[in-house]
């Protein structure tokens, strides 16, 4: 099975990811509590109540089961260090520690969300500063530091109409990012028109983009609107912009400067209101210095740059991506069940260098699942044959990428890194806290307290 860091071992129902993602976006205290209760239920925890303790915001969520006087109830109390919110969870029975740690993780997230909601209400000028929560963007999977930065940049880009230049190797999700910007923007109800600039010769691309007037060339028997006009009020996605000729680059520059298009063979110009997103897998600044790409167009495009990281720089997302693709694959392959995968096979896939990035992961999984057949499990042997990695690679070193954030101190960085590394290790051992502690050579509860301190140092004292 694919490890899921939100689930305990022995309970592999896909119940926790959705409410957890929802919880991170919840807009009211009630929905945070509802999501937390759902997460607890998904982990098989019998929740008696959740109480929010915060001046002016005290709430209680109670399970529908009436309490029995003699039943055993244990209490978990989670506070936001430096904040004012505390959550008190009452659980029936005595769940094992691993499950308890997992629900504490979710409760922490809930407490922070409530704190953020309350802070927003009390001090509106601070709204939007809750950057500890990873934004959820439909279809774009990844919770690693590089993906969080991409998601933040997408959200920023969606709030305005400036031109975006997305760069990145093939298969890193440039198109998915472009679509996300459009769908999150106030142009979402208008068209999103993708154009592959590398797929046409110059004259054809020109008439596709700008349209043509009747009689402009042989075969132009009617006036035809171009794609810029078709995208009016919406977004045009100029994919593979690096493949355009110099002649076309001049015409594109004019549209970007003047927001007007003139169809081929026409005399009049037409106004267009189009948001331009361009993408390339070339290094455009190098293309400029080598005079293959016009510098004036480059600067017009390079208003909001978005650099998609190669998958080898966000390997921590691989287990999540595998889960996501396996969820989709059952249907695509017309299987009645979801394809499964051995944990060691997941670990091995995390070690691969992915020259074709997320697209390669997606197609490899499809091939592996198809070979495993309906009801089959993707094995280490299959992955080995595809990736040429050895078994040792699957179980040995864990490589991860660290990013020193702007303004971050050494101490803050290592505390944050400790949490990130713990997550990676926990994923690599099937989402189990005790096994992660063994792998890290730290006693289980000592590790728990250590992470708790790191968490408080990072999220506490605003
Ligand atoms: N972060 C991600 N989460 C989920 N799916 C992803 C992600 N990144 C890429 N994909 C998937 O990988 C495939 C390739 O993505 P996309 O077409 O956006 O890449 P690209 O950068 O435009 O590639 P190319 O340069 O080859 O055109 C798609 O099926 C897309 O859905
Ligand atoms: Mg593409």
Q: pLDDT above 90 covers what percent of the chain?
A: 41
212 close to 265: Cβ distance less than 8 angstroms: yes
Residues in the chain: 462
Query: Confidence class of residue 16 from pLDDT cuts 50, 70 and 90?
Result: very low
Residues with CB under 6 A from ligand 1: 140-142, 168, 170-176, 281, 358-359, 362
Q: What per-residue confidence (pLDDT) applies to 27?
A: 76
Whole-number pLDDT of residue 43: 81
Of 206 and 404, the structure prediction assigns the larger pLDDT to 206
Q: How far apart are CA 142 and CA 392, in angstroms?
A: 26
70-82 tens-digit pLDDT: 667 788 888 776 6
Q: How far is CA 306 from the centre of its chain?
A: 14
Contact between 136 and 142 (Cβ < 8 Å): no
Which are the contacts of 424, defined by CB distance < 8 A and separation ≥ 6? 316, 398, 400
| 163 CA from centroid of ligand 1 (Å) | 20
Of the candidates 285, 327, 248, 369, which has an alpha carbon nearest to the alpha carbon of residue 18?
327
Q: Which of the pair, 196 or 406, is modelled with greater confidence?
A: 196
Nearest to 5 by CA among 414, 460, 378, 419: 419
**Residues 6 or more apart in contact with residue 149 via CB below 8 angstroms:** 403
What is the C-alpha separation between 301 and 164, in angstroms, rounded? 6
pLDDT digits (tens, 9 = 90+) for 231-258: 999 999 999 999 999 999 999 999 999 9
Is residue 319 within 8 Å of 278, Cβ to Cβ?
no
User: Which residue do the tokens 């978005």 mark?
Assistant: 306
Which residue, 271, 262, 259, 288, is CA-closest to 162? 259
Residue 27, Cβ neighbours under 10 Å: how many?
10
Question: How does pLDDT run across 261-294, given as a tens digit for each residue?
Answer: 999 999 999 999 999 999 999 999 999 999 999 9
Percent of the chain that is helix, strand, coil (3-state, to 5): 50, 15, 40
Q: pLDDT tens digits, residue range 299-308?
A: 999 999 999 9
Work out the average pLDDT over 340-348. Answer: 92
Ligand nearest to the Cα of 174, by number: 1
- What is the number of other CB atoms lying within 10 angstroms of the CB of residue 68? 9
Of 140-144, 220-224, 238-242, 401-405, least confident by mean pLDDT is 401-405
pLDDT at 98 over 80: no
Ligand found nearest the CA of 172: 1
Closest-lying ligand to the alpha carbon of 154?
1
Structure tokens at 295: 């510098």
Cα radius of gyration (the chain): 26
Q: Which atom of ligand 1 is nearest to the CA of 142?
A: 1
308 Cα–ligand 1 center, Å: 10
438, two tokens: 């063994």
What local confidence, expressed as pLDDT, does residue 126 receive? 37
What's the gap in Å between 79 CA and the centre of ligand 2? 44
Please indicate whether residue 120 or residue 250 has the higher confidence score (pLDDT). Answer: 250
Going by pLDDT thresholds of 50, 70 and 90, the confidence category of residue 430 is: low
Evaluate whether 384 touches 347 at the Cβ level (below 8 Å).
no
């Amino acid at each position: 099975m694919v490890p899921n860091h939100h689930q305990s071992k022995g309970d592999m129902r896909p119940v926790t990811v959705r409410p957890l993602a929802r919880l991170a976006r919840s807009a009211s205290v009630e929905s945070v509590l509802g999501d937390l209760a759902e997460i607890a239920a998904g982990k098989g925890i019998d929740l008696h109540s959740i109480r929010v303790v915060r001046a002016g915001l005290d709430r209680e969520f109670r399970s529908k089961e009436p309490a029995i006087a003699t039943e055993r109830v244990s209490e978990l109390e989670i506070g936001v260090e430096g904040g004012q919110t505390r959550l008190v969870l009452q659980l029936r029975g005595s769940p094992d520690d691993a499950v308890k740690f997992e629900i504490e993780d979710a409760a922490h997230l809930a407490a922070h969300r409530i704190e953020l909601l309350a802070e927003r209400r009390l001090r509106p000028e601070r709204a939007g500063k809750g950057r500890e929560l990873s934004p959820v963007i439909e279809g774009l999977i990844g919770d690693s530091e590089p993906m969080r930065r991409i998601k933040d940049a997408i959200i920023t880009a969606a709030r305005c109409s400036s031109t975006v230049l997305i760069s990145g190797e093939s298969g890193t999700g440039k198109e998915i990012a472009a679509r996300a910007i459009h769908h999150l923007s106030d142009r979402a109800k208008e068209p999103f028109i993708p154009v592959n600039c590398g797929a046409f010769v110059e004259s054809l691309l020109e008439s596709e983009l700008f349209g043509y007037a009747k009689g402009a060339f042989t075969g132009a028997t009617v006036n035809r609107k171009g794609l810029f006009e078709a995208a009016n009020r919406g977004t045009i996605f100029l994919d593979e912009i690096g493949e355009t000729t110099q002649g076309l680059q001049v015409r594109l520059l004019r549209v970007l400067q003047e927001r007007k298009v003139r169809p081929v063979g026409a005399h009049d110009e037409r106004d267009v209101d189009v948001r331009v997103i361009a993408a390339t897998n070339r290094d455009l600044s190098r293309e400029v210095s080598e005079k293959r790409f016009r510098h004036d167009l480059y600067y017009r495009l390079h208003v909001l740059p978005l650099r998609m990281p190669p998958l080898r720089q966000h390997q921590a997302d691989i287990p999540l991506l595998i889960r996501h693709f396996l969820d989709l694959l059952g249907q695509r392959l017309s299987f009645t069940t979801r394809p499964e995968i051995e944990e060691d096979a997941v670990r091995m896939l995390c070690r691969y260098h992915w020259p074709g990035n997320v697209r390669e992961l997606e197609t490899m999984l499809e091939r592996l699942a198809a070979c495993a057949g309906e009801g089959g499990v993707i094995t280490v042997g299959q992955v080995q044959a595809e990736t040429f990695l050895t078994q040792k690679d699957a179980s040995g070193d864990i490589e991860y990428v660290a990013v020193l954030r702007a303004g971050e101190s050494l101490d803050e960085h290592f505390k944050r890194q400790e949490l990130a590394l713990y997550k990676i290790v926990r994923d690599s051992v099937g989402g189990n806290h005790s096994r992660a502690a063994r792998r890290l050579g730290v006693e289980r509860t000592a590790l728990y307290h250590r992470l708790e301190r790191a968490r408080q140092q990072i999220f506490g004292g605003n």
